[in-house]
Amino acid sequence: MMDRVRIPEEEYFGRIKKASKLMEEAGLDVLVTHCNEADYSFVRYFTNYWPLFETAGVAIGRDGKAALMVGPESSKYAADRSVLKDIFTLLEYRESADPAYPEAKVSTYKDVFEFLGVKGSNLRIGIAGYLVTNPIQLEGLKRCFPNAEIIRNEEIVRSLRMIKSVNELACMQRGFDIVKKATEAVMAEIRPGVTELQMVGIAQKCIYEHGAEYEGLPMYVFSEKSTSHAISRSTYRTIEKGDLVQLNLSAKIEGYSPSIGMPISMGPLVGEKRDLVEFCLSMHNWTLEQVKVGAEASKIAKDFYAKAVEARMQDYFVYGPCHGTGMIEVEAPWMETSSNYKLQENMTFQVDTYFSAEKFGCRWETGICVKPGKSLLLSEPLGKIYEIPC
């Protein structure tokens, strides 16, 4: 196995200090970030802690002091894994089975804020990771601070995560290198008669052998009608001759979760399937050429959709053309017709080109790092249509 690539501890603490400065500029007394097992990014970004079963939170004060908040079963696990060692146990972060833990000795948000030096009752509390913040956590904050103003504020954390550091890019590149090996492993084994899940197993074996900590997303190998699903899961379906098969494989390194996606055909690719796959590939390659420093995100998205309309393929359009990637495979910012930002150096995106017909769909997907002029592809170009001899 290759040497591990990691985020240094000091980088996590640097992120906390930057967040505290931004929250002070935003007029917040404290910033509380939340996560769950599926989207751990708003907590792992500051701590390297990834919860299991339970949820987690980080509270950051204006002076750069921070604390990790976990559920009753996670305190030892968090102490072993988190770079942030000031850890509080709160019932608000217990698992969804909702145990009462009547014997547990737990803290409250008041205890956490007091530790941070946050005083007063008329506080302005920012919440990041609002969509994964649960009602129990909000109720706990309101119960402890009934006069507080609770403000949704993902922007502080997102603004830090948008531009990747050298270490982050190294983690992502290692992930893409592993995904390439997994894709090659699946391509060597796929044939009529195997199931979708068997091919996922091949990919899983490969990524762990080469140093991944986990899948970067629930890896999928879809065939035929399932390829029309924008989001789905692999099944026990047997892959057959003539099938269109979609691969999207991924590998997680220090939380960073790149993926590579491509269609393959079991035998010759013909008719409407070839038309859709070739069109989708042409749109993918067009997008790669647009991603560069200073480009308007909304213009790329508008031009992308206009090209689909011009080709009379707009009915097959689902989304596009890019979404941010990094700590999780899909993160802000998306590149949409309503996006009002310019691309900056070392922003990272998945160029995710997906079109779906009624009975089949196609996705070409890989990662790109924004650079002046020609941006940096994080995997090899995906320009080949694969037709597996059957």
Q: Are 43 and 68 in contact (CB under 8 A)?
A: yes
Whole-angstrom distance, CA of residue 55 vs CA of residue 89 = 11
Q: What pLDDT does 1 receive? A: 52
Cβ count near 97 (within 10 Å): 6
Triad 236, 242, 245: Cα angle to 5°: 50
Nearest CA among 120, 92, 85, 93 for reference residue 12:
85
Give the span between the Cα atoms of 27 and 123, in whole angstroms: 10
Amino acid 248: pLDDT: 97
- 292 to 206, 322, 348, 363, 369: CA distances (angstroms): 33, 13, 11, 22, 9
Provide the β-strand partners of residue 354: 319, 363
Question: Smallest Cα–Cα separation from 193: which of 245, 237, 234, 244?
Answer: 237
Whole-structure pTM value: 0.95
**Average pLDDT, consecutive stretches of 10 residues, N- to C-terminus, the chain (390 residues):** 86 98 96 97 98 98 97 98 98 96 96 96 96 97 97 96 97 97 97 98 98 95 94 96 97 97 96 95 97 97 97 93 96 96 98 95 96 92 88
Q: What is the pLDDT of residue 349?
A: 98
Question: What string of H, E and C letters represents the secondary structure of the chain?
Answer: CCCCCCCCHHHHHHHHHHHHHHHHHCCCCEEEEEECCCCCHHHHHHHCCCCCCCCEEEEEECCCCEEEEECCCCHHHHHHHCCCCCEEEEHHHCCCCCCCCCCCCCECHHHHHHHHCCCCCCCEEEEECHHHCCHHHHHHHHHHCCCCEEEECCHHHHHHHHECCHHHHHHHHHHHHHHHHHHHHHHHHCCCCCEHHHHHHHHHHHHHHCCCCECCCCCEEEEHHHHHCCCCCCCCCECCCCCEEEEEEECEECCECCEEEEEEEECCCCHHHHHHHHHHHHHHHHHHHHCCCCCEHHHHHHHHHHHHHHCCCHHHEEECCEEECCCCCCEEEEECCCCCCECCCCEEEEEEEEEECCCCEEEEEEEEECCCCCCEECCCCCCCCEEECC
Instruction: Determine the pLDDT at residue 390.
Output: 86
Pairs from 152-156 (Cβ < 8 Å, separation ≥ 24): 152/126, 152/127, 153/23, 153/26, 153/28, 153/31, 153/126, 153/127, 153/128, 154/42, 154/128, 154/129, 154/130, 154/332, 156/19, 156/22, 156/23, 156/26, 156/31, 156/126, 156/128
Are the beta carbons of 356 and 278 closer than 8 angstroms? no
Radius of gyration of the chain measured on its C-alpha atoms = 22
| Nearest of 246, 274, 243 to residue 354 by alpha carbon | 246
* Residue among 256, 373, 276, 269 nearest 326 (CA): 256
According to the model, what pLDDT value does residue 382 have?
82
